[in-house]
Amino acid sequence: MISGTATQEPGWPLRTWALMVLGALFALAVQQLTDLPDSGWEWGKRLVGSAIVFLIVGGISFGLSWRQGRGVPAAIMAAVCGLIAGGVMLWNGTSGGSFDYLVWPMCSGVVASAVFLVLYQAADARHPHLPATWSWAGLKDWKRQTLVYADVHEAAWTDALLGGMSGIFTGIVVAIAFLLAEMFHLVKIDLLRELLRKEWAIALLFGAAYGGGMGLLRDRQVIISLLQRVAMIVLRVLAPVLAVGLVAFLAVLPFTGLAPLWATGETTPAMLGASLVALFLVNAVIGDKAEDAALSRPLRWGAMALALALLPLVAICAWSTGLRIGQHGLSPDRLWAVTFIILAAVTVVAYAVAILRRGDWVARLYRSNLHLAFILGGVALILSTSIVGFDRLATADQLARLNSGKIKPVDFDYRGLWFDFGPPGKAAIKQLAKSAKDATVRKFAGDVQKLGYRFEDAPNDLARHSGDELDKRLTIIPRTVILEPMLRKRLTDFDACRTSGPCTLRYVPGDDYAITLWMPEGCKDCQPDITLLDRGPRGDWGKDEPAIVVGPSKQASKDKKPSAETLRANAVREGKVEMREVRLRQLYIDGAPYGAPIRLENAAEP
């Protein structure tokens, strides 16, 4: 678990002060860059964003890798990490419009930087020299001597703990600074309080605290190693627990079927999350070298069960994503999901082969982890660029589905293409609005460009929800009639038939009122939501509030008797409905009506 001498280093107090100064300067530079005015030039935004990410990632990388006498190699490696992460902005731009468009490439750039940094740290600590020869055999020999799994494992854990604990230290320092500012404010000394209101001062404080905290912690490497050891010992105990849970989950699937999983719409994230936790706990059990691996049979059996349970979990992920792609086509987020599933599949196959073969399966897992680190770093590096172009692939697939007739123009995801598919999606929408053969496509493509943000209603939502979708779930009583457009539009609102769930409409042509009975989809025990709609003078349909507000809550009666709301709904279905005239009183102030009408029965006795 702790390699001992390879990556350990003596304390170096000067480094703490140097990192404090460098952290303050880097943070100040980042703050100044964020305050630059927007010139409107796309490449200007890219350069500024790239510089900010370069300073943050490069600065942290240098703080983690700088060792005494190895400043220049650490600076070069930090620059490489900064360029990889900062290059994401240059490759992909800043105006993709969706969460996935820039965040996932940025995560890929950070992961690639982290992997290469950890490999550099492990190599530099054990064998800080370049290969003797640059032939393939020379490189393999240098790799075998330089990259030891125990060193790589320890460097990764150390970096994670240093980064997290430095952040905690920074938070404490900032909290103390604000506390002191308020204390001095109590005695009418506001210098510190006013200073902390300056953005540049806050940047200096954050940067100095983070750099100084990292330097202090690096001088106390024994504490970091002890924390790592304690964390691994505690976490490995959870491996059998999760193994039992996953095996039980997989055992019940043949009886429950996969339909409940598909109905959630979150199958792939849940299965990938469980796989990631299982993978983490397996590595907690095996440690980073043979003498640190758990000797307890339940722990080792639990780790083996977890590793083998990953195979069906990843298979479920692949099946779920395949179904989604078959139903809705490609999108950038689904292509990212496919990428994650492929990486997960490679990992679980490597783990299964290592465990099922005879011999020392733990040693084989060490070798597999080292090879997987190179694969992860290389794939993440490629994904951080625009070489693959998930937005282009997804846009082409969606247009092909539209042009081939696989999806109707009214059901096409214009809003998703405009907001979630990056520049290729926006260009496709503009082209559809300009030259699509179908007038419906041109209309919706033009209207979607007027939306201000992602979560506004799509221009084709109303047409889709009030068309065939509404007809499939709507029952009209006492007989089926053709509904006027204004009423169909009103039925899809949140307080009538909404956009899903069975709905009953009681309406007679010519009446100025209608009644809707809506039930949540798949909820047989829920009470119906009853809404009275009345036609206004302009033909629009409003909602008349009932005397008793009724909602689709579950029945609470223990004797299973129908609730009052259910009885009302049954009466509506049976036609026991009539509209009566009532006399009301209205308060007038200075000749104008004021407040709601009052029933005559509420009048005071004379």
Separation CA 150–CA 255 (nearest Å): 43
One domain for residues 323 and 343: yes
One domain for residues 25 and 124: yes
One domain for residues 487 and 450: no
In a domain, 600, yes or no: no
One domain for residues 215 and 309: no
Domain that holds residue 434: 390-463
Whole-number pLDDT of residue 580: 81
In a domain, 525, yes or no: yes
In a domain, 273, yes or no: yes
One domain for residues 401 and 295: no
Residues β-bridged to residue 584: 599
In a domain, 221, yes or no: yes
One domain for residues 406 and 528: no
CB 440 within 8 A of CB 410: yes
Residue 513 DSSP SS3: strand
Separation CA 85–CA 343 (nearest Å): 20
Structure-derived torsion over alpha carbons of residues 405, 411, 417, 420, reported in degrees to the nearest 10 = -130
In a domain, 282, yes or no: yes
Kind plus residue range of the DSSP H or E element containing 371: helix 361-383
- For residue 433, which amino acid is it? A
One domain for residues 431 and 317: no
Angle 37-41-42 (CA atoms, 0-180°, nearest 5)? 115
One domain for residues 188 and 313: no
One domain for residues 456 and 483: no
One domain for residues 308 and 406: no
CB 85 within 8 A of CB 106: yes
Phi and psi, residue 594, nearest 5° = -140, 130
Using N-to-C axis directions, what is the helix angle for 199-218 and 13-34, rounded to 10°? Answer: 150
Q: Which residues of the chain have pLDDT under 50?
A: 1-3, 5-6, 547-558, 606
Runs of H (alpha helix) within 219-296: 221-236, 238-256, 259-264, 267-286
Whole-number pLDDT of residue 9: 64
Domain closes at, from 383, 404, 427: 383
Kind plus residue range of the DSSP H or E element containing 494: none
In a domain, 430, yes or no: yes
In a domain, 32, yes or no: yes
Q: Environment class of residue 502 by beta-carbon count within 10 Å: exposed (0-12), middle (13-18) or buried (19+)? A: middle
DSSP 8-state symbol, 503: E
Phi and psi, residue 231, nearest 5° = -60, -45
Residue labelled with tokens 């260009």: 427
What is the count of structural domains for the chain?
4
In a domain, 109, yes or no: yes
One domain for residues 34 and 81: yes
Phi and psi, residue 44, nearest 5° = -65, -45
Separation CA 565–CA 529 (nearest Å): 8
Query: How does 273-298 read in b/e, with b if 16+ C-beta sit within 10 Å?
Result: ebbeebbebbbbbbbbbeebbbeeee
One domain for residues 147 and 69: yes
Whole-number pLDDT of residue 553: 46
Domain closes at, from 417, 443, 463: 463
Whole-number pLDDT of residue 172: 97
Domain closes at, from 180, 210, 228: 228
